Amino acid sequence: MKSNQSLYNKYRPSNFLEVVGQDVAKDILINSIAKNKINHAYLFYGIRGTGKTTLARIFAKAINCKKLINNNPCNKCEICNDINNGSAFDIIEIDAASNNGVNEIRIIKENTNILTTNSTYKVYIIDEVHMLTKQAFNALLKTLEEPPKNTVFLLATTEMHKIPKTVLSRTVTVNLEVLSETNIKKGIKVILEGENINYEEKAIDYITLVSGGSLRDAISALEAVLLFNKEINISNVIKALGLVNKDDIKNLLNSDINKLVEVIDASEKDYNKILFIMLEVLTELTREGRLEFITMLDDLINVASNINDPILLKLSIQSALLKLNVSRETNKKINVVENFISVKNEDNKIVEENILKKDNVIKNDDISLRIKDESIKTKEDLHGKKQENIDSDLNVQNVENVEKAPKKTEKNLNIITDFIDVNNYMYAVVGNNEEKLSEIKLKWKYIENYITSIKYKEIVSALINTIPLATNGNILIVGFKNKQQLNEFKRISLSDVYFEFIKEIIEEYIFALPINEENWDKLLIVNEKGYKLTDKNTEVNLNYDLFIESEDVKKTKALNNIFGEDNVQYE
């Protein structure tokens, strides 16, 4: 063999035994030979570099070989040598990409009538057959319908869907599988051992990973590395192929996505190959139970399937990373809010109501200011009682016996009201920042501009014609006139799309709480009666007079029923 041959040609298999993988395809061809049932046309279908042309050549040799060895060509007889040297008169290879006209096929048809020389079969190997014109396919079809004696057509394609069904129905289809990593590694190692080249196992892993199931692509990558440096190690493979270290990608996905975006943006990178590595990393993370990466994995699979342009690939990868980052930041915001509104301990109390009467304190849990989805113990205690019994239930002697309202043990965080109580509303009211509220109101008007948006359709539908009422910078109370809109908002207010929309409208993340007009009025009444934050902004005080003011029992009813139904009976 010539010393300047490429590794792919130098190590091209010369019999079925040397072909890596493709066991089913080899069995079909070997059984055709063993049973002497040679069809007049075979179609080899598979992705690039999986052995379509190689198997066709081996099959052409095998059906003409004079000294078969276990249905494999001997590679020693005259016809085998002629085929290996490319000088066999009866083995004609045609590239349909450059010879796809009807005239070329007509010439083939005419030549099929010429008798073979020293071969049993005249074989036409037509590569990229899907590139033939419609007229050329029609001409080929006529030849396949009435095949000349001892003529075999071996067609190869990567795009079988482009071949007319009339042609497909007259061929034996030989499907070639995407090669497994094990088989690709096996093929690469055969070459390295044949060339006496030492290698690192992990370096072979990288070459295999970026091959996309194609042994030819893997061998081409190997040649590129060898031209860069004869040492086959991870460092040289990454530099020669323009890759990013797999471990670096994994670490940055976990710690600093913005840094990873910068790395991807660096020059001299092969984004097709980087995409393969990222898919591998995301698959591993998902298998580890890191479900936050599923969406990005799906996005990049779609990118790999539909985009070939390197610039678009880079932008698509970066876009997927930024989307993941936004989602992650959104979740951080949600966690901050959840902690803000739910975590209460001795050292860090978030918001708490103190109800004072005669120097005695009754805690908020005792009077059960809860949204209507919660079970309210106080309402059960007061149900059906007359006004004169209310004072005795809340007097000093009975304070210790008041049971706390039962809380849900399971909470669906997709519904906002499952973990919100009146404290959180009051925190925004008491700490209201008028300047911030005015700024949000101006930006809130832009919601109307998104009314035709498909992506934000549900969000806009729920927020259109709503009014920002109060904000402390972290929490925003939004007023709803429409009950259906309010309920819809509760359903979608913790979704990634919602937070993305809010960020786009007011240019920052903020947690929004819904309220209707009636409950907003009640909230203001409570605030006017002395609901104030302490200097440390950790505690809320409420004047107990609001509960026992005999001249206006309705005020008691209003407070007990903020965000709930009227279960307390009055005379």
Q: Is residue 169 part of a domain?
A: yes
144 and 260 belong to one structural domain: no
User: Tokens 């071949």 correspond to what residue?
Assistant: 163
Alpha-carbon distance of 552 to 459, in angstroms, equals 41
- The mean predicted confidence, pLDDT, of the chain is 75
CA distance 567 to 560: 9
CATH number of 155's domain = 3.40.50.300
Is 564's pLDDT higher than 60? no
Pick the range with the lowest mean pLDDT from 9-13, 170-174, 336-340.
336-340
pLDDT for the residue numbered 187 = 92
- pTM score: 0.57
pLDDT class for 7, splitting at 50, 70, 90? confident
pLDDT at 154 over 90: yes
The domain boundary, picked from 130, 159, 175, lies at: 175
- Same domain (yes/no): 156, 14: yes
Q: pLDDT confidence of 530, banded at 50, 70, 90?
A: low
Q: Where are the beta strands (DSSP E) in 180-268?
A: none
In this predicted structure, what is the pLDDT of residue 332? 65
pLDDT band at 525 (very low <50, low <70, confident <90, very high): confident
Q: pLDDT value at position 483?
A: 85
Fill in the DSSP letter of residue 232.
B
Condensed to tens digits (0 to 9), the pLDDT of residues 30-42 reads 999 999 899 999 9
Share of the chain above pLDDT 70, in %: 75
- 301-324 per-position pLDDT tens digit: 888 888 878 888 888 888 888 888
Examine the domain organization and report whether 462 and 479 are in the same domain.
yes
Q: Is the pLDDT of residue 540 over 60?
A: no
Residue 99 lies in a domain: yes
Average pLDDT over residues 320-330: 79
Q: Where is average pLDDT lowest: 22-36, 250-264, 316-330, 520-534? A: 520-534
Say yes or no: 171 and 186 in one domain. no
Spatial strand order of the sheet with 122-127 comes to 91-95, 122-127, 151-157, 41-45, 172-175
Q: Is 533's pLDDT higher than 50?
A: no
Domain identity same for 54 and 97: yes
Output the pLDDT for position 523: 79
Same domain? 247 vs 124? no
Concatenate the DSSP letters of all residues of 87-127 into one string.
--TTEEEEETTTS-SHHHHHHHHHHTTSPPSS-S-EEEEEE
Long-range contacts of 307-310 (CB under 8 A, 24+ apart): 308/272, 310/270, 310/271, 310/272
Same-domain pairing of 167 and 229: no
Residue 410 CB neighbour total at 10 angstroms: 5
pLDDT tens, residue by residue, 202-254:
999 989 988 888 899 999 999 999 999 888 999 899 888 888 888 888 888 88
Residues ≥6 apart with Cβ < 8 Å to 486 = 480, 514, 516
Containing structural domain, residue 168: 7-175
Q: Are residues 164 and 229 in the same domain?
A: no
Query: What six digits make up the tokens of 364?
Result: 């908020």
- 341-394 pLDDT, tens digit per residue, is 554 344 344 434 433 333 333 333 332 333 333 333 333 333 333 333 333 333
Does residue 387 sit within a domain?
A: yes
The residue with greater pLDDT, 333 or 466, is 466
Burial pattern 88-97, b for ≥16 Cβ within 10 A else e, equals bebbebbebe
Position 2 in a domain:
no
Mark which of 141, 175, 209 sits at the end of a domain: 175
Domain shared by 438 and 542, yes or no: yes
**Which pLDDT band, with edges at 50, 70 and 90, does 149 fall under?**
confident
Tokens of 24: 């089913």
pLDDT at residue 12 tops 60: yes
pLDDT of res. 367? 27
Inside any domain, residue 339: no
CATH assignment of the domain containing 360 = 3.30.300.180
**Which are the contacts of 60, defined by CB distance < 8 A and separation ≥ 6?**
83, 91, 121, 123, 125, 152, 154
Whether residue 400 is found in the same domain as residue 297: no
Q: Please tell me whether residues 436 and 520 are part of one structural domain.
A: yes
The Cα 222–Cα 240 span in angstroms is 9
Of the three residues 274, 301, 330, the one that is the final residue of a domain is 330
Mean pLDDT on 329-342: 59
For residue 156, the tally of other CB atoms under 10 A from its CB is: 25
Check pLDDT > 50 for residue 23.
yes
The pLDDT of residue 122 is above 70: yes
Q: Is residue 343 part of a domain?
A: no
Mean pLDDT score, 48-53: 90
Residue 255 has pLDDT above 90, yes or no: no
- Could you report the per-residue pLDDT of 386-425, keeping only the tens digit for each? 333 333 333 333 333 333 333 333 333 334 544 566 777 8
Are the C-beta atoms of 382 and 367 separated by less than 8 Å?
Answer: no
CA 391 to chain centroid: 60
What was the pLDDT predicted at 72? Answer: 92
Residue 207 lies inside a defined structural domain of this protein: yes
**Total number of domains constituting the chain:** 3
Are 369 and 498 in the same domain?
yes
426 located within any domain: yes
Closest CA to 418 of 374, 353, 462, 476: 374
